[in-house]
């Protein structure tokens, strides 16, 4: 066992259960959004609603009843659409300067993103950001992050070297090498001590290790977020191990090919000859359905011009697989693998991911919005708190000036953002 002692990060573990921003601060004033059209996955489109917010939560959603007495602020919602706060289910926000990270988080929140799932970085930085978000020192999306468990070949990866600066090779408690010599119980306990919501399973693990790590993480109350290809484990083995989420739709193609020992080949599947609608991929979809796995396709990160035919084909293939999984009833979460840059006139890339789901994967605009709200909430494991507009849920909401169900690009028409019942824009 090569990892550092767990006590280094024990204080950070408190963060995993930390409340959202609103509850850590003074309660915002009660708010009534009057006569608004409510849009979410479970409820569809509900016109002429009054939505009452109190103590950071949604108190009630009911048909507009004119003007009753009310002790708080009233926002006129006529001509506006109210949707749940957006969730980017795949970001990496802890890898620049603190100043840049704070700017990005604020910008993302103002762009409608009220929660993010960070899929690996320097957990020292992420824990620091999360602590500042929870106490209200800085503003941004609620942040959920991982500790990484990966096969030893990943120790050579320059991204890992950069994220673990200051530790000896393989000794960072948030990027832990896993092989058959590892004490998995201890490794997962160390991972939990980093304040992570989940372990991320990545690179060069076999089915036995995926299974052992998943069982132990679940036993400690951690979520398990995996890549869809972790050679030599096959995608169906990863799914049947009971991981909660798999990322990157195109990589499931490896179910139809022999495992390669080189995990860096994961992005270069045979997209020319393995059909997304064939039998092998049918087994992958069936495993997702059987296990209730959430799919995080990350179409955005594959959307790039390139001379390389594999790169060109990959997006289309991933979208075709996502379409098939969605039709079979698999929960899809909108993740970008790149939250975006805080530039003037730019919005977070989760808006692009929704557009790609509609344009390439056959989603209706409402289905795409559901992927970017309830789908993300399910991926993180907080669907009891966020992802739809219902009494008792956190008041994380976005007001839109145009109907997102007729055109998904209307999620860009942001008229207001509310997080934890507090207006942030
Ligand atoms: Zn990623």
Given a cut of 70, is residue 79 above it in pLDDT? Answer: yes
CA of 92 relative to ligand 1 center, distance in Å: 6
Among the listed residues 345, 392, 352, 396, the one whose alpha carbon sits nearest the alpha carbon of residue 371 = 352
Check residue 13 and give its pLDDT: 62
Q: What is the pLDDT of residues 201-247, one digit of tens each?
A: 999 999 999 999 999 999 999 999 999 999 899 999 999 999 999 99
How much distance in Å is there from the Cα of 368 to the middle of ligand 1?
Answer: 20
**Ligand 1 center from residue 324 Cα (angstroms):** 23
2 pLDDT higher than 50: no
Task: Give the Å distance between the CA of 90 and the centre of ligand 1.
Answer: 6
What is the rounded average pLDDT of the residues 7-24?
56
**What band does 3 get if pLDDT is binned at 50, 70 and 90?**
very low
Confidence at 312, pLDDT banded by 50, 70, 90: confident
In the prediction, which pLDDT does 14 show?
Answer: 62
**What Å distances lie between residue 13 and 91, 174, 183, 191, CA to CA?**
21, 12, 20, 9
Per residue in 372-390, pLDDT tens?
999 999 999 999 999 999 9
pLDDT at 179 > cutoff 80: yes
Tell which wins on pLDDT, 6 or 314. Answer: 314
Neighbouring CB atoms inside 10 A of 240's CB total 17
Distance (angstroms) between ligand 1 centre and the Cα of 146 equals: 11
> 156 falls in which pLDDT band (50, 70, 90)?
confident
Query: 143: CA distance to ligand 1 center in Å?
Result: 15
Average pLDDT over residues 286-299: 98
For residue 25, the model assigns a pLDDT of 65
Q: What is the pLDDT of residue 325?
A: 98
CA of 120 to the centre of ligand 1 (A): 7
Distance 179 CA to ligand 1 centre (A): 22
DSSP tally for the chain: helices H, then strands E: 14, 17
Q: How far is the CA of 80 from the centre of ligand 1 (A)?
A: 34
Radius of gyration of the chain (CA): 21
Q: How far is the CA of 89 from the centre of ligand 1 (A)?
A: 10
Rounded distance from Cα 247 to ligand 1 centre (Å): 8
Structure tokens at 304: 């790039």
- The SS3 call for residue 177 is strand
User: How many angstroms separate the alpha carbon of residue 337 from the centre of ligand 1?
Assistant: 5
Q: 12-21, 59-68, 220-229: lowest mean pLDDT where?
A: 12-21
Rounded to the nearest integer, the mean pLDDT of the chain is 92
The two three-digit tokens of residue 20, written as one number: 């959202």
Distance of CA 205 from the midpoint of ligand 1 (Å): 18
Distance 11 CA to ligand 1 centre (A): 26
Tell how far the Cα of 69 is from the centroid of ligand 1, in angstroms.
Answer: 49
Q: How far is the CA of 147 from the centre of ligand 1 (A)?
A: 13
Q: For residue 391, how many other CB atoms are within 10 A of its CB?
A: 12
Instruction: Give yes or no for residue 330 having a pLDDT over 70.
Output: yes
Q: What pLDDT is recorded for position 159?
A: 87
Peptide bond just before 232 cis, omega within 30 deg: yes
Centre of ligand 1 to C-alpha 49, Å, is 38
Which tokens belong to 273? Answer: 């000859």
Asked whether residue 194 carries a pLDDT value surpassing 90, the answer given is yes
- Model pTM score: 0.95
What is the C-alpha to C-alpha distance for residues 327 and 287, in angstroms, rounded to an integer? 14
CA distance linking residue 422 with residue 56, whole number of Å: 7
| Total residue count of the chain as it appears in this document | 425
- Centre of ligand 1 to C-alpha 303, Å, is 14
Query: What CA–CA distance (Å, rounded) separates 392 from 128?
Result: 29
Distance 43 CA to ligand 1 centre (A): 31
C-alpha separations of 202 from 51, 64, 193, 210, 290 in Å: 42, 49, 19, 9, 22
Residue 139 has a pLDDT of 96
> Is 418 within 8 Å of 397 (Cβ atoms)?
yes
| Extended beta strands in 195-263, E state | 198-202, 223-227, 245-247
CA 332 to centroid of ligand 1, rounded, Å:
16
In angstroms, what is the span from residue 378 Cα to ligand 1's centroid? Answer: 18
* CA of residue 18 to ligand 1 center, whole Å: 24
Q: What is the pLDDT of residues 98-111, one digit of tens each?
A: 999 999 999 999 99
Q: What is the CATH number of domain 86-386?
A: 3.20.20.140
Spatial CB neighbours of 249, under 8 Å, sequence gap ≥ 6? 228, 295, 297, 298, 299, 318, 319, 321, 322, 325
- Pick the closest to residue 197 from 415, 17, 75 (CA basis): 17
């Amino acid at each position: 066992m090569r990892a550092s002692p767990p006590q280094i990060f024990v204080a950070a573990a408190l963060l995993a259960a930390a409340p959202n921003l609103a509850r850590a601060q003074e309660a915002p004033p009660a708010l009534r959004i009057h006569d608004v059209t409510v849009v979410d996955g479970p409820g569809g489109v509900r016109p002429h609603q009054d939505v009452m917010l109190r103590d950071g939560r949604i108190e009630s959603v009911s048909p507009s009843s004119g003007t009753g007495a009310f002790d708080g602020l009233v926002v006129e919602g006529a001509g506006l659409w109210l949707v749940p706060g957006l969730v980017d289910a795949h970001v990496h926000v802890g890898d620049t300067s603190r100043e840049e990270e704070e700017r990005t988080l604020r910008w993302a929140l103002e762009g409608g993103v009220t929660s993010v799932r960070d899929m690996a970085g320097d957990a020292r930085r992420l824990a620091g950001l999360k602590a500042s978000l929870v106490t209200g020192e800085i503003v941004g999306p609620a942040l959920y992050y991982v500790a990484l468990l990966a096969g030893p070949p990943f120790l050579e990866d320059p991204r890992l070297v950069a994220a673990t600066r200051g530790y000896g090779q393989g000794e960072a408690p948030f990027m832990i090498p896993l092989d058959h010599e590892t004490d998995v119980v201890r490794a997962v306990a160390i991972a939990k001590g980093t304040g992570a919501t989940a372990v991320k399973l990545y690179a060069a693990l076999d089915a036995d290790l995926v299974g052992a790590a998943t069982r132990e993480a679940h036993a400690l109350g951690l979520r398990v977020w995996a890549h869809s290809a972790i050679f030599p484990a096959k995608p169906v083995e990863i799914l049947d191990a009971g991981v909660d989420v798999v990322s990157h739709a195109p990589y499931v193609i490896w179910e139809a090919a022999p495992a390669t020992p080189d995990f860096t080949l994961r992005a270069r599947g045979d997209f020319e000859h393995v059909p997304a609608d064939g039998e092998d991929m049918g087994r992958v979809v069936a495993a997702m359905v059987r296990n209730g796995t959430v799919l995080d396709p990350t179409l955005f990160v594959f959307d790039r011009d390139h001379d390389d035919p594999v790169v060109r084909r990959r997006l289309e293939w991933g979208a075709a697989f996502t379409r098939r999984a969605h039709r079979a009833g698999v929960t899809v979460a909108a993740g970008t693998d790149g939250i975006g840059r805080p530039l003037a006139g730019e919005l977070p890339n989760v808006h692009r991911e929704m557009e790609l789901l509609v344009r390439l994967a056959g989603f209706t605009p409402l289905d795409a919005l559901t992927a970017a709200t309830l789908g993300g909430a399910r991926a993180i494991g907080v669907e009891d708190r966020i992802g739809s507009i219902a009494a008792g849920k956190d008041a994380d909401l976005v007001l839109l000036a145009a109907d997102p169900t007729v055109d998904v690009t209307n999620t860009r028409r942001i008229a207001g953002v509310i997080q934890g019942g507090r207006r942030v824009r």
